[in-house]
Structure formats: C-alpha cells, structure tokens
A and B are shown apart, each in its own frame.
Chain A
C-alpha cells in the first residue's frame, strides 16, 4: 500500500479532525458510544412501555380532552413565542446597532431575567397580581378597586413565560445583528431608502433565521415548562402529566401523555432545523465583515431608553423587589427559615456533582465528534443531543418506570437523579466543549504523537489544558441548569432530599410565600455565580 504523503504529515483539516485517523482509540470511542447509548435509553424505554400499553390507555389518550390540552399548550407556545419576538427584536436592535445611552449596561440588564426560573416568576406573579395580591391591595386602598381581572390561567402563564423567556430571542437576534453585513444596508440607503424602510426591507429579512431560532427556543422552553403553568393553573401537557403522575395509581397514562409531549418537542426541533437549512444568507463580499456604524437615535433616544427601562422594570426590577419584600417579611415574622440551609447545600452539591459528571461524560463525545469525524461519530453526536429536546418531566418518568421495573435499588437514589441531569443537560455542556475543541488545532497533539506519545497521553498533556476554559464553561452551564431543574428533581429526588428548587415549589403550593421567597432568593444568588463566570468568559477576547 502506498503511503499518502498527507497522512504521513497528518495535516489537520480546517474542522480540527485528524486526517487519516477516523478510527478513534478505544479509550475515546468506547466511552463516547456508551454515553450516547445511555442518553437514549430512557426515551426508548418510555416508548416501549407506552406502545405496550393496553387498549384502555389508548382510549384514554384519544379523548377529546387530550386534544383540548394539546391545543391549550399550542396556544401558549405560539403566543409566548410571538410576544417574545415583539419584545426582544427592538431591544436587540437598540442595544447592538444604535447609540442608545448606556447601551452595554442595558444589554446586560435586559438579558438577566434568564436566570429567574419560571416557577419563581409564577409565584411572584401570584403574590403581586393574584386576587388579593399586592397590586390589588394597593389599588383597593388608593382607588377602592374591588377586583382585578383574574390572573390565573392563560394570562398569568403567558405573562410569566414571556417576561422570563424573551432573553432567548434577544440573545440569538443580538448575535445575528453582530454578524450582519453592513454593506447591504448601506446599499439600500445609497439607493435612496429611508432608515425605516431599510430596517423593514433589508435588516429584518436578514434577521429571520436568528428570530426563528430564538422563537423556537422559547417554544421549546414553553412546551417543557412545568412550574409556571402548574402554579398558575393553566393546564398544558406537562401540568396534565404531573397531575396524572401524582394522583393516578396507574401511571401508564402519564407515560402515554409524555410520548405526546416528546412528539411535540421533536416537531419544534425539526421546524428549527428546517428553517436553518432553508435560510442561507451570505455576505456580498468574501472579505471580512465590517462592523456597521451605529444608528444615531437623536431625540428618539428618550422613548428608546423608556422602553428598555420598562422591560427591565417588569421582568427584573419588580420581581426582585417583591422577592426582597417577602424575604424581609419572612425573617421579621419569625417563621422558621432553617429548612433553607439544608436545601442550599443539597442544591449546591447535587449541581456540582452532576456538572462534574456531565463534563467528564461530554469530553469523549466531543473528542470523537471533532477529532475523529465519521458516520458513527455523527450518529453519536445526534444521540447525545436527544436530551435537549426532551422535557425534564419525560426523562424523570421514563427513569421511574425503568428503575422500578428493572433496577429498583436505584429508584429514588442520588445516582439516578444525577443520571437524569446528565441526560437533560449534557447537550449544553457538549456544545460548549465542542466549540472550544474546534478552535484548538490538532497540530500540537500530532507533534506530541510524532514524538512517541499515545493518542490519549497526547490529548491529556496538550489539549486538555487548552480546553480547560471550555470544559469549565460547559460545567458551569450544566451546574446552572441542574440548580434550576424542578420536575426531574421532584420526581426522582431521593428519600428526604429537598433542593432550593423543590423548596420554592412546595412552599409556593402551600401558599407559604415568605419561605418560597427566601428559597428563591438563595437560588438566584447561587446560580448567579456560574452565570457570572459564563458572562465574564464570553466578554473576554478570543
């Protein structure tokens, strides 16, 4: 066999793979395959169990009521996504492309609500806007208003999810705006179009892919949300599944409804992938994109600031103020708050543990995908992203069924809970590690191997140190998401295990608002540590 000079030199291609070595060494290939298989195990079992269910379950599933629940879920998804786009696109444009005063500060402030979990938002909406809530009391005192319009049901669910999830659209659209080629806009302006016309006919159409991507993220978030819709009594699929799970003796219906939820999530993902393939926007020249000049706002800067301030007020300032009010009230009323320390510790260590496991599990998959691309690597990558599409409640139910039938010692063990977190949040960490790995040239590693190191040894001494910050960012994200996760923790938590998330939940459902507020505040504080790390890292050059 003739030696190919390229394989002798092992010239890396631009994607960071090692040419001529598509077979990964066993210490990489075997764990990567195992991780990928573990990711799909729960959902496969759920499908098997549902398909094997008796006709009685199918009758229950195909009732008009199921359709009603699906339609209600769709209504919320569509309206929340649309509202988020309307809210976020102007914010993105103002903070990226105009000379809005303090625009960097505004950019941070308007993206912060993403750290507030939906169930905390919902509980704050109930204490603030609920019947006999704080606003009602104030209005009654000032204007003797007897009754506010009902916040339970659709209005509350819509409001809480919109105010907390618009940052998803904001972040994707801002990224889209940064990458936008300014020359198209300039051409439009040079041809005599006004600013508004240019915005609507040139800028907005180019932003379509990022708007769609953001809206679909919001859709997925709304679909899998459990806390807000349950607290605000808007019965979507996740809420129905949980009520079924909690109150029914036969859990097969919950399993069947979960499959409906999975199908809806997959449809959203397919739609997202479809739009990504359909929209292709290229710059007019192959050269580097030029940053667009900032649009002067002139006297419009005052209403623009007012708009930003309004959004920050509604989605961040008021919620935090209410939270603090109830915390103070809670501590002054001598209500026992001792529960909160145990919950904080549980939250912290289970999140740290799952972040560590996730980072370790994601590493071989990332290496396999980036360094040894092949058909199999591609399949492994796809499988590892499965958790991204699956709502926490479905993973939790799947694991309950699986362990109570096949591995009962694991049932309600910490191990199982951590496993659920790994399935749910590995995709996020994987994305971060994979992106970092792509930026590291395999040349150095190859040099080490040329000097006699084994592939694994070379990777350990050369790439791991360079990859450190990517791994930490991935782990930080996983930590944050684990900390906030509610339904999986509620369902799979071991004996007597309470975290901050479950404390907020149980206190809020018992209408013990002061306790819920204290746990919420701690949750937001503890999660802001990794969040700060991620933001800080994102702002560093390179």
Chain B
C-alpha cells in the first residue's frame, strides 16, 4: 500500500470538502435572488416564501431570527449587510431601521394598498398584517365579565400576584410598552412595569408558551398578541383552556400593531424586493395571513373572520405607529426595572 499516496489522498479529500463548503456558500448570491431577514417565525413565513418562489421564479434566501436580533444584526453589519428585504414582527424595530437610515422609500402603489394608519409616515415601511394586543386568560379560573380590570393598568393590583405571565423578550410586547410610553410617559410606564414586577409575573421566551401556560392554568392571565390563541384553538379544539379578552376603550393594552416589511437602502435587488412586498400584500397572501395565522389582513377588502373580533370593533388607542421607534428607550426601561437582564 502506498502510504504517501493515501496521505495525499486524505489531504486532497479534506481540501475538496472545504472547497465544496465554500462554494456552496458563495453560490448564494447572483441571479434572481433576494435575501430576506425575517423576524417572523419560520413555520409562519416559509409557506409564503415557497409560494413566492413558485410564482415568480425569484429564489429567496432567508434568515430567521427574533425581530430585535434581525435589527441588531443589520446595525452591526452596517452598509455591507446582504439583506434586501426586512420582514419584522412589529413597527418599533422597523422604525429603528428607518431612523438609522437603513430603509429605502417604497413606491406609492405599495403604500396605497393599506390604510394610512398601517404604514410609516415617511413611506419607508408598510404594514402587512395586523395584530391586536390582548389579555389571554384561563377559562376555569377567570370570568372575563367580572374578574378582569377595565384597563391593562389594573393588573398592578396585588390580587394578581403570582397569576400573570408575559414574554418580555418579545418584540410585540416591547412595542406595547413603547406604546404605553408614548401615551402615558416614561414615569407612568415605569410605575406600571414595577407594579407588575411586584406581582411576580412568570417570564416566557415567546408568546406561544405564554398562551399555553394560560390554558394550563400555570398562569391566569398573559399579555400577548391575539392570534396565538387561534392557532391553538384550531389544533386543540374548543376544549383549549384559554381565551382572549380584548380591552378596547383606547387603552394602552388594546394597541393594534402591524407586522411589516421594508427594503434596504443598500439593496441591489430593490425591484425584486418590491415584488416580494407586493406579494405579501396580494389577496392570496393576505388571505393566508387571515386563515392560517389568524392575523388581520390590511390590504384590500377585509372580510370578518370567524371567532375574531372585527378590526373595526377593536377600539385601539390612537397612536401613529411611526412613533413607536424608540425601541432602545423601552429596552433601557425594561433593563432598569430588572425585567430584562
């Protein structure tokens, strides 16, 4: 046996493996390809991307992370970011990107697909679906008629000690806190956060486990977005032990948020990116958001969905979503109050 030959062969093999790895990485770019940074989860978004690829022949590279992580990544990457489109969970972090001069203006035909309330004042991002803030409650322990306060502010009452759950790392939760700061000011918001903190809330990493915990009776109430419940109702049936309570009354706890998308100023594939956003706002995808993810469609005619409080009955507070861009201030506040490390 020729040992030198074998030695060389092994080295060549290792080099080949490395080359293949490098090439398969490098071949990502070029052609009709866009790179999407998604702050929305894979099981929600991937089917939409697959349909888009199928219909347009444009292939999509996608990076899933939390909304704040996507934002931080883009800020860290600076002008060399490979992202073409950002698709985020909430308007707050889109606002951050917009104020850091990362987003390009969107053409009017895209912006005009949605109501003025659901897009950026400066036209740099557009809402793609609506999500209402709700209080999810355990149906065994809570009677929504009598047990729940009129305002989210009422949950600082000590009777709620050990009964509350929330996902403080979640971008929508943080946008809700930003909304409260816009409405009531930092001092009142800090008081509310400290009041809830004094009630020993349970922190969950995301919305889904918060809703599940409410149904289990692990907590009695949770502060979440409305649609997670409906996904559970669909898979688990009506026996699922939690329901949503919509606070309404223009209360900070009744904020209506949008998931939204924008195009990177540095993108070299703006045209394909715009096609992607048009696809998100097309009747087909809007219908998907409504039926699959139980969000509120924002573009075109909005039919009422079964089991969902209609969009025009939500009675959310009157806040311009572009004002929710001080995500950093909210993060500082959550850190100061010890809610985030």
Which residues of A come within 8 Å of B, CB atoms? 60, 65, 69, 130-132, 152, 230, 233, 235, 239-240, 243-251, 353, 356-357, 360, 400-401, 404-405, 408-409, 411-415, 418, 457, 460-462, 464-465, 494-496, 498, 506, 509-512
Task: Report the separation of the CA atoms of residues A412 and B70 in the bound assembly, to the nearest whole angstrom.
Answer: 12
Judge if B61 is at the interface, Cβ distance under 8 Å.
yes
Given contacts A246-B68, A496-B61, contact A408 B21 (CB under 8 A): no
- The answer on a CB contact under 8 Å between A247 and B202 is no
Neighbour of A495 across the interface among B7, B61, B208, B338, CB < 8 A: B61
Chain A nearest CB from B240 CB (Å) reads 13
Chain B nearest CB from A152 CB (Å) reads 7
0/1 string, B197-214, CB within 8 A of A gives 1 = 000001101101100110
Task: Give the nearest-CB partner of A407 in chain B.
Answer: B80
In the complex, the 3 A-B pairs of residues with the closest C-beta atoms, listed nearest first: A132-B216, A240-B341, A460-B7
Given contacts A249-B331, A457-B4, A496-B62, contact A509 B21 (CB under 8 A): no
- The answer on a CB contact under 8 Å between B14 and A360 is yes
Task: Give the nearest-CB partner of B20 in chain A.
Answer: A353
Task: Report the separation of the CA atoms of residues A22 and B192 in the bound assembly, to the nearest whole angstrom.
Answer: 69
- The answer on a CB contact under 8 Å between B35 and A495 is yes
- The answer on a CB contact under 8 Å between B25 and A415 is yes
Task: Report the separation of the CA atoms of residues A59 and B80 in the bound assembly, to the nearest whole angstrom.
Answer: 31
- The answer on a CB contact under 8 Å between A152 and B68 is no
- The answer on a CB contact under 8 Å between B202 and A249 is no
- The answer on a CB contact under 8 Å between B218 and A247 is no
Neighbour of A249 across the interface among B28, B71, B217, B218, CB < 8 A: B71
0/1 string, B312-341, CB within 8 A of A gives 1 = 000000000000000110010001001011
Given contacts A249-B327, A404-B77, contact A356 B14 (CB under 8 A): yes
Could you list 18 A-B pairs, sorted by A, with CB under 8 Å? A69-B341, A132-B217, A240-B341, A249-B75, A249-B96, A250-B72, A251-B76, A400-B76, A404-B77, A411-B77, A414-B24, A415-B21, A460-B7, A461-B4, A465-B6, A509-B205, A509-B209, A510-B206
Residues of A with C-beta under 8 A to B62 = 495-496
Task: Give the nearest-CB partner of B13 in chain A.
Answer: A356
Residues of A with C-beta under 8 A to B98 = none
Judge if B66 is at the interface, Cβ distance under 8 Å.
yes
Chain A nearest CB from B266 CB (Å) reads 12
- The answer on a CB contact under 8 Å between B22 and A415 is yes
Dominant secondary structure of chain A at its interface with chain B: helix
Judge if B225 is at the interface, Cβ distance under 8 Å.
no
0/1 string, B7-36, CB within 8 A of A gives 1 = 100010010011001101100100000010
Judge if B3 is at the interface, Cβ distance under 8 Å.
yes
Taking residues whose C-beta sits less than 8 angstroms from the other chain, chain B's interface range is 35 or more
Task: Report the separation of the CA atoms of residues A79 and B331 in the bound assembly, to the nearest whole angstrom.
Answer: 33
Task: Give the nearest-CB partner of A240 in chain B.
Answer: B341
Q: What is the count of residue pairs linking A and B with beta-carbon distances less than 8 angstroms? A: 122
Judge if B63 is at the interface, Cβ distance under 8 Å.
yes
Judge if B41 is at the interface, Cβ distance under 8 Å.
yes
Chain A nearest CB from B47 CB (Å) reads 11
Chain B nearest CB from A460 CB (Å) reads 4
Chain A nearest CB from B68 CB (Å) reads 5
Judge if B69 is at the interface, Cβ distance under 8 Å.
yes
Residues of B with C-beta under 8 A to A465 = 3, 6
Task: Report the separation of the CA atoms of residues A401 and B73 in the bound assembly, to the nearest whole angstrom.
Answer: 10
- The answer on a CB contact under 8 Å between A408 and B72 is no
Within 8 A of A (CB), among B144-178: 169, 174
- The answer on a CB contact under 8 Å between B338 and A404 is no
Residues of B with C-beta under 8 A to A360 = 11, 14
Task: Report the separation of the CA atoms of residues A511 and B216 in the bound assembly, to the nearest whole angstrom.
Answer: 12
Judge if B288 is at the interface, Cβ distance under 8 Å.
no
Neighbour of A408 across the interface among B3, B80, B174, B216, CB < 8 A: B80
Chain A nearest CB from B52 CB (Å) reads 14
- The answer on a CB contact under 8 Å between A461 and B3 is yes
- The answer on a CB contact under 8 Å between A246 and B169 is yes
Chain A nearest CB from B63 CB (Å) reads 5
- The answer on a CB contact under 8 Å between B205 and A230 is yes
- The answer on a CB contact under 8 Å between A132 and B72 is no
Task: Report the separation of the CA atoms of residues A467 and B223 in the bound assembly, to the nearest whole angstrom.
Answer: 60
- The answer on a CB contact under 8 Å between B341 and A65 is yes
Judge if B64 is at the interface, Cβ distance under 8 Å.
yes
Residues of B with C-beta under 8 A to A357 = 14, 18
Task: Report the separation of the CA atoms of residues A230 and B169 in the bound assembly, to the nearest whole angstrom.
Answer: 12
Residues of B with C-beta under 8 A to A235 = 341
Residues of B with C-beta under 8 A to A462 = 3
- The answer on a CB contact under 8 Å between A248 and B77 is no
Neighbour of B341 across the interface among A243, A356, A401, A412, CB < 8 A: A243
Task: Report the separation of the CA atoms of residues A248 and B328 in the bound assembly, to the nearest whole angstrom.
Answer: 8
Chain A nearest CB from B250 CB (Å) reads 28
Chain B nearest CB from A341 CB (Å) reads 15
- The answer on a CB contact under 8 Å between A356 and B340 is no
Task: Give the nearest-CB partner of A147 in chain B.
Answer: B217
Q: A69-B341, A404-B77, A408-B81 are known contacts; what are 10 more A-B pairs with Cβ within 8 Å? A: A239-B341, A245-B69, A246-B68, A249-B96, A356-B17, A360-B11, A404-B78, A457-B4, A461-B7, A506-B42
